[in-house]
Amino acid sequence: METVIEASNLVKQFGSFRAVDTINFSVRPGEVFGFLGPNGAGKTTTMKMIQCASPRTSGSLSVFGLDPGTHSHEIKAMIGVVPQETNLDTEFSTIENLIVYSRYFGIPKEVAEERAEKLLDFVQLTEKRDVNIEKLSGGMKRRLILARALVNQPKLLILDEPTIGLDPQARHLIWEKLKLLRSLGNTIVLTTHYLEEAERLCDRLVIMNNGTILVEGSPAELVRDHVGSGIVEAEHSPEVVECLSHMGISYEVTGDIVQVVTDNPRLVAQELLRKCDAKQVLTRAATLEDVFLKLTGRGLKE
Ligand SMILES: Nc1ncnc2c1ncn2[C@@H]1O[C@H](COP(=O)(O)OP(=O)(O)OP(=O)(O)O)[C@@H](O)[C@H]1O
Ligand SMILES: [Mg+2]
C-alpha cells in the first residue's frame, strides 16, 4: 500500500462554519506525520474524521484504502486513538480500564489480561495497576490512554496532543515509546503544540491555520525554506534598531528582542557587537517554532 491515509479536498463544516477547509494530505506507511497549528486550526476535527468519530462534509478520505463513512468498523479495528481530552472510565482501576476497553475489539479475556500487564509495564504504570484512575495524576492518565490505544495492536496510531501536561521525564518516556512503535513499522499521526516534539518525532508535518494547510514538509525542509539557517538576537534598543536599518539588515522586533534571520549568523553577530554596540547578542539555529510563528502570526488566536 502506498499510503495509509489519503485526504483529498477534505471539508468539515459545522453549520455555516468551515472547521476544515478543503485540505489535501497523504500519510505513508511507517512514518510519523504531524499536524501543527494554533488553537482552533482544525487539527482535532481532522483527527476525528480519520478515526471515524465524525463524518466529513465533502471531499474524499481513505484510511488503509477504506472509506471511514462506510467502513468504520474495519478501520477502528486497525487504529489506536489517544483523544485530546482524557476520557478514561472513572469507575474502574488502571488495569481494568485496559481490559474493559479490549472488549470493544472482541479480544479474549486471557489475551486482554496478558496484554494489559505488558502495556502497563510499557508506560511504567505497573505500580498503579489496581488504583482507581481518579487517583492517578494527569500525566499518568495520559500514559494510560496511550496504553489503552495499543490494546488492539493497531498499525496506525492517531494521537491528539499525546504529551499535553506531561513533565519532562514523562514526555521523554512517551517519545521513546513512540520511536519504538515507529521502528516496529507502525504509522503515527499526531498533533502537538510542542514544536520541539514535532521537530524530534515527525518525519513530515503540516502546519494548519483556519482550517487550511499552510505548508507541508519535513521539519528541516520547513525551517530551511521558510526561515533560513540562523537567527541572531539582540536587545531591542533605539541604537541597535537604527544601526541595523543603517546597514540595510532587515530585522523583526518581538517584545524586547530584535531578531535577524540570516544564513550568516556569525557575521551579523559581529556587526551587531562591533558596529551597533549591542550588549546582548545571541546566535541560534532557526527552529520549527520560528517557522510556526512566521506563518501563523504572533498574536493569540481566538
Ligand atoms: N462540534 C463542533 N461544533 C461547532 N464547531 C466546532 C465543533 N468542533 C470544533 N468546532 C470548531 O472548529 C474549529 C476547529 O476546532 P478543532 O478542535 O479542530 O481545533 P484544534 O486545531 O484541534 O485546536 P486546539 O489546538 O485548541 O486543540 C474551532 O473553531 C472550533 O470551535
Ligand atoms: Mg485540538
pLDDT digits (tens, 9 = 90+) for 263-275: 899 999 999 999 9
CB atoms within 10 A of CB 182: 17
Protein residue closest via CA to atom 28 of ligand 1: 40
Torsion of CA 83, 154, 126, 99, to 10 degrees: 80
Centre of ligand 1 from the C-alpha of residue 197, in Å: 22
Residue 302, pLDDT score: 46
Judge if the beta carbon of residue 132 lies within 6 A of ligand 1: no
Q: Which ligand is nearest to the CA of 212?
A: 1
Tell me the Ramachandran region of residue 64: left when phi exceeds 0, alpha when psi lies from -120 to 50, beta otherwise: left
Q: How far is CA 271 from the centre of its chain?
A: 38
Q: Domain residue spans in the chain?
A: 5-217, 229-285
Instruction: Please give the grid coordinates belonging to residue 281.
Output: 547578542
Judge if the beta carbon of residue 102 lies within 6 A of ligand 1: no
CATH topology of domain 229-285: Alpha-Beta Plaits (3.30.70)
Consecutive H or E run containing 82: strand 79-82
Sort strands 17-27 and 79-82 into parallel, antiparallel or unpaired.
Answer: unpaired
CB atoms within 10 A of CB 163: 26
Condensed to tens digits (0 to 9), the pLDDT of residues 72-125 reads 999 999 999 999 998 999 999 999 999 999 999 999 999 999 999 999 999 999
Choose among 178, 185, 170: nearest CA to 82.
Answer: 178
CB burial of 282-295 (b: ≥16 within 10 Å; e: otherwise) equals ebeebbbbbbbeeb
Judge if the beta carbon of residue 37 lies within 6 A of ligand 1: yes
Protein residue closest via CA to atom 3 of ligand 1: 14
Q: How far apart are CA 298 and CA 145, in angstroms?
A: 32
Judge if the beta carbon of residue 23 lies within 6 A of ligand 1: no
Protein residue closest via CA to atom 27 of ligand 1: 39
The dihedrals phi and psi of 208, each to the nearest 5 degrees, come to: -105, 155
- CATH assignment, 5-217: 3.40.50.300
Enumerate residue ranges in the chain where pLDDT < 50.
302
Centre of ligand 2 from the C-alpha of residue 290, in Å: 21
Consecutive H or E run containing 212: strand 212-217
Judge if the beta carbon of residue 54 lies within 6 A of ligand 1: no
CB 224 within 8 A of CB 230: no
Judge if the beta carbon of residue 12 lies within 6 A of ligand 1: no
For the chain, give percent helix, strand, coil, nearest 5.
40, 25, 35
Condensed to tens digits (0 to 9), the pLDDT of residues 236-258 reads 999 999 999 999 999 989 889 99
Please report the sign of the dihedral spanned by the C-alpha atoms of residue 76, residue 77, residue 79, residue 81. Answer: positive
